[in-house]
Structure 1
Amino acid sequence: MGLIKMISGGSTDGDSNRARKSRSRKDCMEVEGARRNEVVISFGSEDLKGINLPHNDALIIQARISNYDILRVFIDSGSSVNVIFKDVFVKMDLQSYQLEAVETALFGFTGHVVYLEGEIVLSLTLGSQDLKKTVMISVIVVDSPSSYNIIIERSAMNELRVVASTYHQKIKFPMGARVGEVRGDRPSSRKCYVEAVRADQSKTRKEGKKAKNDEGGRVVEKGEELAGISPLISEHHLNILPGSHPVKPKKRHFGPEKDKVIDEQVRDLLKAGHIREIQFHTWLSNVVLVPKFIEKWRM
């Protein structure tokens, strides 16, 4: 038992086309067998008691995740994955060896790809006293700063048959002939918003300051051009045709001389900060060595 107050960001459908098709077939069967006699869930004026209108607060609740009462749980119907941030993962005494590998990258935290620590199955409990509901959910662990502790996505909400209303700052779910509910934590919602705005402003100031420092000329480090240049000045994107499937050619060996050159240049790129190692890559390509006129190789 414990309480986590705050932090001091793949696809739940699977990492392959086969897994996604299987999930789709399962969803169709579940729709065919949907319960027809469940209690009707509605929201009315009584649900607005204690709420000052108008407001634009996000729906942030408290939930029990594997015997921990977690605050700052963001109900996000637009998310396709359940997310737990690494700081919380560590505070819950969960271990890296419990994680399953995830190859599908995550998008949407900063506009860039977020590579994942792994996936773990945890229990999620909503409600209190005799109106509690528990399900097991797959959660992606993300090493990224966030004002939230956990993000709950739409499939978990659907499994719990949750109906959410940001206007009423409440979620409701059927419990036989009764209705369970959880009210939103508006103070936490506003704190999360303020923290996110401050973090964005701080990041913008730092990038602007760095951009001014770099305007005097480009930085060269270990023979590698553009080291330390802010994305505000120059940023490269690799455009991929929609519908393209990931490609992973087999690793090639170039011979002792070329392998040594590749190793040295990769180390230089790592040291300069242009590249970083990832464990579960979706795309993979062999390097190409091109002879230079000074009897050296360019990778």
Structure 2
Amino acid sequence: MTIANCTVARILVDNGSSVDILYYDAFEKMQLNPEMLKRVESPLYGFNGAPVHVEGSIKLLVTVGTEPKLSTVMMNFLVVKVNSTYNGILGQPGLNNLSELAEDLIPVEIVEGDGSCTVPIGVGLKGERKKSLINFLRNNADVFTWSAIDMPGVDRELAEHRLSIYPTSKPVFQKKRTFAPEPQEKVIKEVIKLLEAGFIEEAMYPEWLSNVVMVPKPNGKWRHEMLSFMDACSEIKMYEPNILKASFIAGRDTYCYTRMPFGLKMLVPPINAARKLSPYFQAYTIEVVTIQPLKKIMAKPDHSGRMVAWSVELGKFDVQYKPCTAIKA
């Protein structure tokens, strides 16, 4: 990779990073003037969840690839003073700019004779390498999930999710909200997918009722807060008496989740703890050890509704999210 006419090696490609990073050591070796940096007010959060001071941002010309696959684009880097074995991080913005370098793909049937079960592979694969890869994929076809229906979930006897609700709490029933034709069509399509997958069911007598929150995306599409196909892909079913407490309005009908939305479910325990132990949270650094990607869930920029409120509520405290350590035999 060439950055500002300098050949730069050891670049970490991280599609989970929301920014492109250039470390200060590399910045100095490239003999760039610090006065070129533009001030950045908001902090950057590293892999450990701790805030990292940003020296500034700078736009540089980046060239990647070789002919005939060669691309030169302008990228915006955040410059940070952090010890690292890498010179920079190529995040999602940079990868999007370089998408034209992606190799052309062709679909290959994993289950022979079934055109709906395909996996894309590069057109550049030839001969024995291509044959070996296809055989490997077909021999392991049982590990692929072709639709949400293929995910039966965890048996209730092993685990189920319960909502922590005060018995004296008064149920809330929101009034129906009317949508424009375009977002309404999106809601109906998503409801059909969730019904077919068994993640939701029609609620005849809901005990709590919420509206779907539609949010426009920068690309012109729509995203919904309460109704999300990916968020609902939890393998743990809900405790049956709580199912009608997770109801929502969609179109002319009301539905309820039979499985708890992933993002909301994972944030309930730290939110409850922060509310009950607020003085303790204010006085100490809190470490949340989990196998779930809570840090990524909290850092998503396109949240709305309860997710935004909970993120702000936890943001008042010094909460660090750490992965569970492996138990070695």
- Same fold? TM cut 0.5: no
Task: Point out which structure has higher relative CO (alpha carbons under 8 A, 6+ apart).
Answer: 1
For normalisation by structure 2, the TM-score amounts to 0.32
